[in-house]
Amino acid sequence: MINNIIIIDILGKTKIYLKILTPLRCFVLSFGLISLFTFSSCQKKESIKQDDRPNILFIMSDDHSYQTLSAYENTYLQTPNLDRIAKEGVLFQNSFVSNSICGPSRAVLLTGKHSHINGQINNSVTFDSLQPTFPKLLQKAGYQTALIGKWHLRSEPTGFDYYDRLIGQGDYYNSPFILNGRKTESKGYVTDVITDKSIEWLNNRDTSKPFSLMVHHKAVHRVWMPKTTDFELFDTINFEVPETFFDDYTGRVAAHHQKMSIERDMDLVYDLKMLDQDGEIKTAYRKMFERMISRLTPEQRKEWDAYYDPIIAEFKKNGLEGKELALWKYKRYMQDYLRCIYSLDQNVGRILDYLDENNLTDNTIVVYTSDQGFYMGEHGWFDKRFMYEESLRTPLLMRVPKKYGGVRGEISKMVQNIDYAPTFLDYAGVDIPKEIQGKSLKPLLTGEKETDWRDAIYYHYYEYPNEHMVVRHYGIRTDRYKLIHFYDKIYDGWELYDLKNDPGEMLNVYNDLSYEMTVIELKDRLSELQTEYKDLDRSTY
């Protein structure tokens, strides 16, 4: 069918063009000298723009320490699939969170705003789902949006064409989900199930639209229940204990108040699986773990008991106490935690393989991160919350296809989870709202010279009192120093760390006169950040 006749006068010579459209391509015939051209882009401008936009695959785990991702540290285990993202993309060496706790971290990444602005200051608050988020803006711009896995924000997800979320923290085995508002059951290990659901969604998505898929895992959240097939991994390894494991917290008052000590606070049943059948081991959280393990099928429970019962019997026989008990707890903790990481890495590999096999690798941005860092025995701790490095820092790997200008290597600039939302919007060609407090990482990911990058990050933790009793605090971190102000009725004081000379943060030099000018300069810069981020009134926290 001839749709248009175009007459063009070129250098005084008239040529007649017939524009012939077929379902597959556009032909242009020039009469006089007949030529045939095939145009693959005979579409509206809007469609061209849409087709050129990248898909976004945002994979996030829970409580994954950078110490246990081999692209960062090669100490504990190999994570080849996660490492692949770094090798084919970039690894951020200085990636931080703004509030090291699950719910608030998720609210920050959705909104690009600090906790005091988005309202999710702790896990007890219900997320205001009416406020703008990057999935809503992508959805409005024509992206197909989906969330599969952990949500943990109390209110129902908004801004998603499809969601299949865990209920609360979810369970490691046979966990129920909420599918677009309706409760459903699942069978299997949760990391496998989330990956299965994600691949199924990718198979059934609307291929006419770019997609934004958030694959948010439960792993590696407490209580670190491994997959039955991975039970014997790391059994023969004696993990080297961190140098600071028996830290006595000299000069650090706030550290004395915490309740996240492996030696003192790690529950033998709930955390370490010592659920003896005769009930002699009585702990504070035994009944909670009994509920969790009741979700196992008879076949799963048989495999579970076959592995853990001999360990329980040996533990009861040995009667460990003091440092010997603390070191035994550390070993058991590390084994179960790392087994969960192993499964996580395997499932990330499944997703990457899917992209390869379905010709999606060259037009999909892949992001891997965790909602915060975690302690692997440093200072004798598990959990997170403090502004110290192990919980402040979080893994961040990004693979941007070359067609979108993606570079390779390591990036040392300080980035934060407030930066995720503006980055995704930037790559999608969506205007970044002025109220977003983060910065797009696109200039860093494309190798542009960024002369106006941040020289410091701001942190604020609010959840006190709580189970782990970490005192509320805020602070600033630069490339060398960290200044923290703990504030609460239980303790009000300052800490300063010289990260160059004291990377383990063992020596509080706040009252050292040789750092007097450093303290003044950092307090001034901290005040500037609090003004910039509008965090000036702490009377309501």
Strands 473-477 and 481-486, bridge-based pairing: antiparallel
The confidence score (pLDDT) of residue 80 equals 98
Q: Is the model more confident about 445 or about 10?
A: 445
Task: Report, as an integer, the average pLDDT of 431-444.
Answer: 97
| Closest to 67 measured CA to CA, from 398, 483, 388 | 388
Task: Report, as an integer, the average pLDDT of 297-304.
Answer: 98
The confidence score (pLDDT) of residue 451 equals 73
CB 104 within 8 A of CB 371: no
Confidence check: pLDDT of 119 > 50: yes
Confidence check: pLDDT of 154 > 80: yes
The confidence score (pLDDT) of residue 50 equals 53
> On the CB side of 112, how many CA atoms lie within 13 Å of its CA?
24
CA 6 to centroid of chain Cα atoms:
55
Q: Is the model more confident about 187 or about 36?
A: 187
The confidence score (pLDDT) of residue 24 equals 35
Residue 8's DSSP bridge partners are 15
* Mean of the per-residue pLDDT values of the chain: 91
The confidence score (pLDDT) of residue 13 equals 38
Exposure letters 79-115 (e unless 16+ CB within 10 A, then b): bebbbbbbebbbbbebbbbbbbbbbbbbbbbbbbbbb
Task: Report, as an integer, the average pLDDT of 333-359.
Answer: 98
The confidence score (pLDDT) of residue 100 equals 98
Residues 195-217 pLDDT 10s: 999 999 999 999 999 999 999 99
Task: Report, as an integer, the average pLDDT of 519-536.
Answer: 97
C-alpha angle 368-371-375 in degrees, rounded to nearest 5: 105
pLDDT interval class at 114 (50, 70, 90)? very high
Q: Which domains does the chain have, with CATH numbers?
A: 2-42 (no CATH), 50-224+344-379+387-449 (3.40.720.10), 228-332 (no CATH), 461-532 (3.30.1120.10)
Element containing residue 184 per DSSP (H, E): strand 182-184
Confidence check: pLDDT of 116 > 70: yes
**Among 37-46, 127-136, 308-317, 359-368, which stretch is predicted with the lowest mean pLDDT?**
37-46
The confidence score (pLDDT) of residue 20 equals 38
Q: Which residues contact 350 (CB under 8 A, 6 or more apart)?
A: 195, 199
Task: Report, as an integer, the average pLDDT of 18-37.
Answer: 36
pLDDT interval class at 29 (50, 70, 90)? very low
The confidence score (pLDDT) of residue 151 equals 97
Confidence check: pLDDT of 219 > 60: yes
CB 15 within 8 A of CB 31: yes
Token code pair at residue 15: 């040529």
Exposure letters 285-320 (e unless 16+ CB within 10 A, then b): ebeebeebbeebeeebeeebeeebeeebeebeeeee
- In angstroms, the CA 348 to CA 155 distance is 27
| Closest to 461 measured CA to CA, from 385, 408, 377 | 385
- In angstroms, the CA 443 to CA 467 distance is 41
The confidence score (pLDDT) of residue 39 equals 28
The confidence score (pLDDT) of residue 449 equals 79
Is the Cα dihedral 175, 181, 184, 190 positive or negative? negative
Confidence check: pLDDT of 48 > 60: no
Confidence check: pLDDT of 40 > 50: no
pLDDT interval class at 537 (50, 70, 90)? confident
Spatial strand order of the sheet with 493-498 comes to 457-461, 473-477, 481-486, 493-498
Query: Residues of the chain with pLDDT > 90: what percent?
Result: 88
Confidence check: pLDDT of 510 > 60: yes
pLDDT interval class at 428 (50, 70, 90)? very high
- In angstroms, the CA 272 to CA 335 distance is 10
Q: Give phi and psi for 255, each to the nearest 5.
A: -65, -25
Q: Is the model more confident about 6 or about 338?
A: 338
CB 307 within 8 A of CB 231: yes
pLDDT interval class at 452 (50, 70, 90)? confident
Task: Report, as an integer, the average pLDDT of 523-536.
Answer: 97
The confidence score (pLDDT) of residue 539 equals 60
Confidence check: pLDDT of 35 > 80: no
Residues 476-487 pLDDT 10s: 999 999 999 999
Confidence check: pLDDT of 15 > 60: no
Q: Which residues contact 130 (CB under 8 A, 6 or more apart)?
A: 158
Amino acid at 469: M
Token code pair at residue 45: 């401008």
Confidence check: pLDDT of 23 > 50: no
Q: Which residues contact 353 (CB under 8 A, 6 or more apart)?
A: none
**CB atoms inside a 10 Å sphere around CB 281:** 16
Confidence check: pLDDT of 541 > 70: no
pTM score, whole prediction = 0.90
Task: Report, as an integer, the average pLDDT of 76-96.
Answer: 98
